[in-house]
Amino acid sequence: MPKNNSELRKILLLVTIIALTQELFAQSTPYSVVYDDTMVNSIYITIDPDSLEEMFDNLENEYEYAVQFIYDSPVLKDTLENVGFRLRGNTSLFSAKKSFKISFNTYESGRKFEGAKKLNLIGNHNDPTMSREKIYFDIYNSLDLPERRVSFAKIYINNFYYGLYSLTEEYDDVFLRNRYGDDSGNLYKCVYGSNFEYNGEGQAAYSSYELLNNESANDKSDLINLTNVLENTPIADLPCELEKIFNVDQFLKIYALDISTGHWDNYGANQNNFYLYHNNFTGQLEFLSYDCDNVLGVDWFGIDWTERDVYEWNFDDRPMVEKLMQIDEYRNRFSYYLNYIASIAMHPDVLNPHIDAIRELIAPAVVDDILHTFDYGYTYDDFYNGFEQNNIDDHTPYGIKNFIEARDENTLSQVELNNITPIIKYIHHYPLMPSSSDVIEITAFIEDDAAIEEVILNWSYNNVDFESTTMYDDGTHWDGVSGDGIYGNLLESMFHENETLYYYITASDNAGNMNAYPLCGVDSIYVGFSPEHIVINEFLAINTITLPDENNVYSDYIELFNPTAANIYLGDKYLSDEFDRPGKFKMPDVILYAGAYALFYADDNPEAGIFHCNFKLDGDKDEIGIFSGPEYYYAIIDTVSFTNQIADQSIGRIPNGSGPFVELDEASPNQNNEVIIPPIDTAFEQQLLIYGNPASNTTTLIMGLTSLTSVVLDLVDLNGQVVFRIEESIKGEGSYIYPIDISHLASGVYFFRLTADDKVSAHKFVVF
């Protein structure tokens, strides 16, 4: 594309403007009345007056007070008791019109309201229009970024009208599952000082990146690796290495939007206010916008953000921007997005009708918003005029519409347009886990500033000899609607079980540019995947007196069993009590030996040890699942659902490891459900003697056999994990001596478990 090609801009505008005004702001996520932005509903909070006074007297505490919550709208009226309620924000804590957070699951674990665990009630005390963040995210969502919804509500506390608030969607596990299908990756909230500088391998140097989940693992290695790659990879190699671990395209688009909307309280200028999410399906960290109220004409520095150079936006060095702008393809793509936003997404003919609709929607709720007048003296006229009148006050030198017009004009005068290579993204294949008899559909979305000439799917069985298949956007090759930018085709009946299909996609346009996905290397699909066979063998959902854990706490437990003849690694598999959250608890890096058991405590206390889960079981109704990892799309290994459990009544499989779940006569954690193993020293015809018990460094086992038999001798910890195993296929009558080195074992109680003649005995062993 030639530099400043005004004719092409006009064509783009004429072609898209009608469709965009109809579709630009449509929501794509499942409907929730809470985020229905076509209406302004009411929320009533009833809180003890003394608690409210205490909350306002202690502004910087995050204690959640139990309140009554009433939601009132034309389509839904509902009341919830014991809902968490607290203040939120930083500088807004000291404003007259404060912001709040509502948590539905604080006092009732797992509770949601209309799909939401939490609501952010934003007072917008420093915005005369109270709509800037809403408008920012409406543009953001129109750019096919991970949708973040914002709506409006009238808030009443103890029947006093606190005014109009915006409800901004929380970045939490619900958001992540809705947008990514998984919430098990690291989620970082990035506060002041988060600039992507590499500060060495120590995690303490990255404290501004607050890990909001996976706290027990507390592993920021993905973030540290990103900063390391960014700083220490030669520019020529950076695209290949960076795109493996970071969604570069998404960052470039958001960075372009931030500049277009004058968002200075962000990564680029103020080095804060963004989130990062590690998408386990792609292996990439993804950049997400946050706290976007200082936009569209808000200024606190005396800077005219409409005129600021789009290529010199930052206050000082920002490694992500500095490095990306040294790469022609990324600089050109950034310019392409700037041009698109100014010409289309933020063009006044597209955006102004939407802005007018927001003003008319919320205006009746603003009339009586007394608190909004306190901090900056805003009147109703200031609200109404603030959309298109400058200098409402010192920090809003531009009205929203005036800012957009000036910023668009200056962006288009500054942007340096060059042809971009085709952008290849949103690669999908179906089925996710194909068998050898399946036909595999592969699709990709292609975006470009020129016409696409050819899209090729290149595939191979051996990653050496590749064949080619053309992909089409004609509506007849499993590609959706003709001309929608989605290209597709099939690979049919060419596969064998347990085989890897390697592939990459190339796209070329009529300007002579070509690009590939992946940018370097290949992607792969495993054909005929079969999960390793582990079973949920027993569970106790209400444990009051049956089995204490190593901390002498009675916690619900889940027993896993390996019924196969092969050892199975657990560290790439997951346990969960929610089938729609299969990645909830990653199991520890241990081996589940053939015929062995592993006991997990469902106590929502992962800090207590590696066998303690981050969830509890609900005896009234719950579910348990074992799942493969995200690389296998969390394929199901085993599941069970249950209701109406009785305290200390365990449920297990009979026959052991294979039968249906029944009520067991006696709990048998870490044991065969059909043979109760005594918990203390016992013996049968085949004897085991322990010389050195307790012991700290070495002990000696003497095994006495009275007949020809096979023998398995395990040392088992209290979690059922086999520490080591002695396995003898056939041993004759006699005595056998085994010196055992135990110097590497932690202090505690263990059991030696002897299996011979299909009989089992257990012998308590103490390490000190």
Q: Give yes or no: residues 134 and 49 share one domain.
A: yes
> Is residue 327 included in any domain, yes or no?
no
Tell me: do 49 and 127 sit in the same domain.
Answer: yes
* Within-domain flag for 185: no
Range with lowest mean pLDDT among 331-335, 495-499, 592-596? 495-499
Domain-embedded: residue 487: yes
Residue 766's pLDDT is 79
Q: Which of 185-189, 280-284, 524-528, 722-726 has the lowest mean pLDDT?
A: 722-726
Residue 23 has pLDDT above 70, yes or no: no
Q: How confident is the model at residue 760 (pLDDT cuts 50, 70, 90)?
A: confident
Residue 624 lies in a domain: yes
- The torsion angles phi and psi of 162, rounded to 5 degrees, stand at -85, -10
Gyration radius from the chain CA atoms: 31
* Residue 225 counted as domain residue: no
Q: Which residue has the tokens 């030996």?
A: 593
Q: Tell me, what's the pLDDT at 686? A: 56
One domain, residues 397 and 457: no
In DSSP terms, 756 is beta-bridged to 711, 759
The residue whose two tokens read 């992507």 is 196
Where among 499, 527, 555 does a domain terminate?
527
DSSP 548: B
Lowest-confidence pick of 243-247, 306-310, 549-553, 679-683: 679-683
At 725, which CATH number?
Answer: 2.60.40.3080
Does residue 522 sit in the same domain as residue 545? no
Q: Parallel, antiparallel, or unpaired for β 651-653 and 734-741?
A: unpaired
What are the structure tokens assigned to 596, written together? 């062995």
Are 395 and 427 in a shared domain?
Answer: no
Which of 631, 663, 695 represents a domain boundary (last residue)? 663
The last residue of a domain, from among 663, 696, 714: 663
Give 677-721 as a DSSP string.
PPSS----SSEEEEESSSBSSEEEEEEEESS-EEEEEEEEETTS-
Q: What distance in Å separates the CA atoms of residue 421 and residue 419, rounded to the nearest whole number? A: 7
Spatial strand order of the sheet with 535-540 comes to 597-602, 556-561, 535-540, 651-653, 661-663
Residue 693 has pLDDT above 80, yes or no: no
Question: Does residue 741 have a pLDDT over 90?
Answer: no
Q: E strands of 401-451, at which residues?
A: 423-430, 440-447
In which band, very low, low, confident or very high, does the pLDDT at 43 lie, cut at 50, 70 and 90?
very high
pLDDT (average), residues 521-545: 93
Confidence of residue 748 (pLDDT cuts 50, 70, 90): confident
Q: How many CB atoms lie within 10 A of CB 530?
A: 12
Q: What are phi and psi of 573, to 5 degrees?
A: -125, 170
548 and 504 belong to one structural domain: no
- The answer to whether residue 717 is domain-embedded is yes
Q: Is the pLDDT of residue 223 over 50?
A: yes
Rounded Cα–Cα distance for residues 270 and 262 (Å) = 12
Same domain, 87 and 14: yes
How confident is the model at residue 711, as a pLDDT? 82
Domain residue limits at 601: 535-663
More confident residue, 681 or 120: 120
**Residue 696: is its pLDDT beyond 50?**
yes
* This prediction's pTM: 0.84
Q: Specify the DSSP class assigned to residue 554.
A: B
Q: According to the model, what pLDDT value does residue 712 have?
A: 85
- What is the CATH number for 589? 2.60.40
Looking at the structure, do residues 638 and 540 belong to the same domain, yes or no? yes
| 696 located within any domain | yes
506 and 544 share one domain: no
In degrees, rounded to 5, the angle at the alpha carbon of residue 249 between the alpha carbons of residues 253 and 201 is 110
pLDDT at 675 (0 to 100):
63
- Rounded CA separation 339/79 (Å): 48
CA-CA distance, 343 to 586, in Å (whole number)? 46
Bridge-partner residues for 187, per DSSP?
Answer: 277
Question: What's the confidence (pLDDT) of residue 697?
Answer: 81
At 734, list the tokens. Answer: 């006699």
- Name the domain count of the chain: 4
Pair (468, 592) in one structural domain: no
Task: Please choose, from the candidates 276, 74, 40, 281, the residue with its C-alpha nearest in 3D space to the C-alpha of residue 164.
Answer: 40
Q: Are residues 574 and 714 in the same domain?
A: no
Whichever domain contains 520, its CATH number is 2.60.40.10
**Average confidence (pLDDT) over 563-591:** 94
pLDDT tops 80 at residue 502:
yes
In this structure, the answer to whether residues 621 and 700 fall within a common structural domain is no
Q: Which residues share a beta bridge with 764?
A: 751
CA distance to 155, 387, 476, per residue, from 128 (Å): 18, 9, 51
| 293 assigned to some structural domain | no
